[in-house]
C-alpha cells in the first residue's frame, strides 16, 4: 500500500469518526423521550449530564467519546495540511475536544433549573465554585469558533476569485453564525441578565446543534480527503 493510499484510509477513518461524533454530540435531542424533569427552555444542555440526573452518566460518556474523537481529528488536520490557517484550525479543534472531555471530569453536581436548593447554592456560590466546568465550557465554545473561522478563512483565501464557495464552506459559515450568536446571548444572560430565563435553554440548544453540524461538516471534509484539509 502506498503512502497516498494509507493517507486516504486514515482520512476515511478519522472523517467517518468525526461525522459520527458530530451526530452523537446532538444526543440531547433524545432527552424528551427520557425520564427527566428538566425544562428545555430553562435548562442548559450540560444539566443533562449533572451528577444528580438519572441519565447523567450516559450523557457524560457521550461527551467523553466526542471529546476524544475530536482531539484525534484535530491532530489529524494539523498533521495533514500544509496550510498554516488549517493547521491552527486543527489545533483549535483539538482544544475543543480537550475542553469537552474535561467537562466530563468536572460535571455539574446538580441541575439548578430543576432543583431550588441547587439554584440557590449556585446563586450564592463563591468565585471558585463550579469554576472548572464553567471554564471548560467557555474554552470549548471559543475554540470551536476559532476553528470554524480559520477553516472558512483558509478556504476563502485558497480558492480563486472565479471559483464559487463550496457547500462545506457555506455550511461552516452558517455554523459559525449559529454558534457565535446564541453563545453571545447565553454569556450576556449569565453576566448582565437579559430576562430570558424561560428561553435561554432553547437558545443554547441551537448553539449545540450548530456545533454538531459543524463537526459533521468538518468530518465530511476530512472524509473526502479534500485539499482544504490536506495539501
Spell out the residues 6+ positions from residue 173 whose beta carbon is closer than 8 angstroms to its own: 152, 165
User: Tell me, what DSSP letter sits at residue 194?
Assistant: -
Query: pLDDT value at position 7?
Result: 57
Name the grid cell of 127: 468565585
Q: What is the distance of C-alpha 130 from the center of its chain?
A: 20
Helices (H), the chain: 3-24, 56-80, 84-105, 116-123, 131-158, 167-191, 200-223
Rg (CA), the chain: 19
pTM over 0.85: yes
Nearest alpha carbon to residue 76 among 155, 6, 11, 139: 11
Angle value at C-alpha 180, between 179 and 185, nearest 5 degrees: 105
Name the grid cell of 13: 477513518
Weakest-pLDDT range from 44-53, 107-116, 138-147, 198-207: 107-116
Q: pLDDT class for 72, splitting at 50, 70, 90?
A: very high
Q: Is the pLDDT of residue 128 over 60?
A: no
Query: pLDDT value at position 125?
Result: 62
Query: pLDDT value at position 188?
Result: 85
Nearest alpha carbon to residue 34 among 18, 47, 21, 22: 47
Q: Is the pLDDT of residue 202 over 70?
A: yes
Are residues 201 and 113 in contact, defined by beta-carbon separation less than 8 angstroms?
yes
Q: Is the pLDDT of residue 97 over 90?
A: yes
Q: What is the mean pLDDT of the chain?
A: 84
Task: Tell me the pLDDT tens digit for each residue of 139-193.
Answer: 898 999 999 888 888 777 665 545 566 777 778 888 888 889 998 898 888 778 7
Q: Which residue has the cell 454558534?
A: 179
Nearest alpha carbon to residue 31 among 198, 202, 185, 196: 202
Handedness of CA 35, 39, 45, 47 (dihedral sign): negative
Name the grid cell of 45: 444542555
Weakest-pLDDT range from 5-9, 22-26, 37-41, 178-182: 5-9
Q: Is the pLDDT of residue 220 over 60?
A: yes
Percent of the chain at pLDDT exceeding 70? 85
Q: How far apart are CA 125 and CA 26, in angstroms?
A: 30
Query: pLDDT value at position 70?
Result: 95
Q: Is the pLDDT of residue 12 over 90?
A: no
Q: What is the distance of C-alpha 30 from the center of its chain?
A: 18
More confident residue, 80 or 93: 93
Are residues 50 and 114 in contact, defined by beta-carbon separation less than 8 angstroms?
no
Amino acid at each position: 500500500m502506498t503512502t497516498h493510499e494509507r493517507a486516504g484510509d486514515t482520512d476515511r477513518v478519522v472523517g467517518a469518526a468525526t461525522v459520527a461524533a458530530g451526530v452523537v454530540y446532538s444526543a440531547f435531542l433524545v432527552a424528551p423521550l427520557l425520564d427527566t424533569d428538566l425544562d428545555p427552555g430553562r435548562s442548559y444542555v450540560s444539566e443533562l449530564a449533572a451528577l444528580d440526573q438519572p441519565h447523567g452518566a450516559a450523557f457524560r460518556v457521550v461527551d467523553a467519546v466526542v471529546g476524544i474523537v475530536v482531539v484525534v481529528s484535530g491532530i489529524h488536520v494539523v498533521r495533514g495540511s500544509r496550510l498554516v490557517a488549517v493547521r491552527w484550525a486543527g489545533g483549535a479543534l483539538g482544544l475543543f475536544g480537550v475542553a469537552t472531555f474535561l467537562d466530563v471530569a468536572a460535571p455539574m453536581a446538580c441541575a439548578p433549573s430543576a432543583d431550588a436548593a441547587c439554584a440557590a447554592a449556585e446563586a450564592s456560590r463563591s468565585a471558585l465554585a463550579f469554576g472548572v466546568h464553567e471554564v471548560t465550557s467557555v474554552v470549548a465554545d471559543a475554540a470551536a469558533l476559532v476553528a470554524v473561522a480559520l477553516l472558512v478563512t483558509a478556504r476563502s483565501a485558497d480558492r480563486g476569485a472565479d471559483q464559487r464557495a463550496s457547500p462545506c464552506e457555506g455550511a461552516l459559515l452558517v455554523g459559525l453564525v449559529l454558534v457565535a450568536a446564541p453563545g453571545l446571548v447565553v454569556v450576556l444572560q449569565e453576566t448582565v441578565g437579559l430576562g430570558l430565563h424561560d428561553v435561554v435553554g432553547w437558545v443554547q440548544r441551537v448553539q449545540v446543534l450548530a456545533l454538531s453540524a459543524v463537526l459533521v461538516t468538518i468530518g465530511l471534509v476530512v472524509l473526502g480527503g479534500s485539499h482544504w484539509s490536506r495539501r
